[in-house]
């Protein structure tokens, strides 16, 4: 029983570390591809009419899968950076870290 608990605890640590690394990668991608139009940190008046990442994360019905799917679709009002599915998911994880 102790062995199972130790294994489960170890897996949780690996999953948590992987999530953090993916969100960090998402932040780097966001700084490169999104920060020209979106406030990716604390909300700013700099980008009037364009939602900040914090505002996107605050939406009650939003989740990481929805954001990642959205990022992979072509957009008339946004550039379409060459994101892989993993990249889109990493950006989504970064955005969802701002959910309060």
User: Alpha helices, DSSP H only, in the chain?
Assistant: 2-33, 53-58, 64-72, 85-96
**Span 36-93, pLDDT tens digits:** 889 998 666 667 788 999 999 999 999 999 999 999 998 888 888 889 999 999 999 9
The answer, as to whether pTM is greater than 0.85, is: no
Q: Per-residue DSSP letters for 84-99?
A: -HHHHHHHHHHHHTT-
Domain that holds residue 13: 2-96
Domains contained in the chain, number: 1
CATH number of the domain where residue 6 is located: 1.10.760.10
């Amino acid at each position: 029983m102790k062995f199972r608990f130790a294994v489960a605890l170890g897996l949780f640590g690996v999953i948590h570390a992987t999530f953090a690394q993916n969100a960090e990668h998402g932040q780097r991608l966001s700084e490169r591809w999104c920060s020209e139009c979106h406030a990716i940190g604390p909300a700013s008046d700099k980008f009037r009419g364009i939602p900040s990442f914090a505002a996107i994360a605050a939406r009650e019905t939003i989740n990481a899968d929805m954001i990642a799917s959205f990022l992979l679709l072509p957009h008339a009002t946004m550039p379409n950076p060459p994101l892989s599915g993993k990249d889109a998911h990493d950006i989504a994880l970064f955005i969802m870290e701002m959910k309060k």
